[in-house]
């Protein structure tokens, strides 16, 4: 019997002072059976960091990612169906990223975990030629602290200023005195 995805709901309130993007998003995320909550929440963070100010050029959407090798974790198509943004989470191989750069106007990658620096050292030279690729690293301690915020029903407030991200969150419908918060500073590795 195949394992099924676990559904998470997130109410996301974003105040991105760096890009002047503000908004509220009610999101449903599927945790793939082979995925960790840490990866799930990095996907949610990537959404918050990349969401456009409006949907005039199409909305940012969660794709099938792990379930489909032809789709990223998150993507954005314009109203004509043209692929604008391709967002990956983790440590994909250079062929996947090169293919994505050929298909989308912009490709963003969020790497995390203790092996991220080793992975980047081995792949950096192969990726620098991809002009529309930006790579961001979330330090291992920060991604693990973010994973501690995982709940099946989450309510997050995300504030971004001067490259620093503050995430505070708790469970939807629960007293906010139990909210936890995490401070993250994504490090640009490429792009």
pLDDT in tens, 52-105: 988 888 899 999 776 667 899 999 999 999 999 999 999 999 999 999 999 999
Residue 2 pLDDT class (50, 70, 90 cuts): low
| DSSP-assigned states of every residue in 110-166 | EEESTTHHHHHHHHHHHHTT-TTEEEEEE-HHHHHHHHTT--SEEEEEEEEETTEEE
Whole-number pLDDT of residue 174:
52
More confident of the two residues 176 and 131:
131
Name the one residue in this structure whose structure tokens are 């692929």. Answer: 83
pLDDT in tens, 144-190: 999 999 999 999 999 999 999 999 987 655 555 457 899 999 999 99
SS3 177: helix
Which architecture does CATH list for 6-190? Roll (3.10)
Whole-number pLDDT of residue 69:
74
Residue 160: how many CB atoms within 10 A of its CB? Answer: 20
pTM of the shown model: 0.91
Contact 158, 15 (CB under 8 A): yes
Show Cβ contacts of residue 32 under 8 Å, excluding neighbours closer than 6 positions. 5, 65, 66, 67
Show Cβ contacts of residue 130 under 8 Å, excluding neighbours closer than 6 positions. 97, 98, 101, 107
């Amino acid at each position: 019997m195949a394992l099924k995805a676990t559904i998470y709901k997130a109410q996301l309130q974003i105040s991105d002072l760096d890009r002047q993007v503000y908004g509220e998003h009610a999101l449903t995320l599927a945790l793939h059976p082979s995925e960790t909550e840490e990866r799930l929440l990095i996907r949610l963070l990537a959404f918050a960091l990349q969401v456009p100010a409006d949907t005039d050029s199409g909305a940012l959407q969660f794709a099938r990612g792990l379930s489909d090798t032809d789709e990223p974790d998150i993507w954005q198509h314009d109203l004509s169906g043209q692929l604008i943004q391709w967002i990956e989470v983790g440590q994909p191989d250079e062929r996947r990223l090169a293919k994505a750069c050929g298909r989308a106007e912009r490709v963003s990658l969020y790497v995390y975990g203790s092996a991220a620096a080793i992975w980047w050292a081995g792949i950096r030279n192969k990726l620098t030629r991809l002009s529309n690729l930006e790579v961001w690293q979330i330090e291992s301690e920060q991604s693990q602290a973010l994973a501690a915020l995982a709940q099946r029903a989450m309510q997050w407030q995300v504030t971004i200023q001067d490259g620093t991200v503050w995430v505070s969150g708790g469970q939807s419908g629960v007293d906010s005195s139990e909210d936890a918060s995490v401070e993250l500073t994504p490090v640009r590795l490429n792009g």
